[in-house]
Amino acid sequence: MNKTDITVKKQQGGKISNNKSEEVVNDMPVVPMTDEEVHAAALSDPDAQPLSKEDFARMKSTPRAKSIRYSLQLTQEEFASRFRIPLGTLRDWEQGRSEPDRAMYAYLRVIAVMPEAVERALQPPIALAE
């Protein structure tokens, strides 16, 4: 099966045509809907039902380490090196093979809130002149 991209464009009067043949795909005018109507229409679609608590329990969440790393715009190697986390451990967290323990979650939270302070704290101490 070939994959074909088709874009559509809205013409005057609300008609929609595709980019291949300019043939009208939908000649019904687009009718604006209120937020309540959109919500009701979404709930009436059997293929787009809201997720249940059981659905959420089954799903894996995006690991916090990855979100923090992305927000700091660091590669895995840079993040692991800067915050002294073994690279393999970080990769395991991000790929969902393991999760940080409670202490590491706390550490990641501090990194998320004060990354510069964590970096400063991890610098080697300055030797004082005797």
CATH topology for the 62-122 domain: 434 Repressor (Amino-terminal Domain) (1.10.260)
**Percent of the chain having pLDDT more than 90?**
43
Residue 130 and residue 12: Cα distance in Å, rounded? 83
The pTM for the full model equals 0.53
Beta bridge partners of 9: 17
* Domain spans in the chain, listed from the N-terminal domain onward: 62-122
Q: Which residue type sits at 46?
A: P
Exposure string of 33-54, with b = 16+ CB inside 10 Å and e = fewer, is eeeeeeeeeeeeeeeeeeeeee
Per the prediction, the chain carries an average pLDDT of 82
User: Tens digits of per-residue pLDDT, 83-106?
Assistant: 999 999 999 999 888 989 999 999
SS3 content of the chain, % helix, strand, coil (to 5): 50, 5, 45
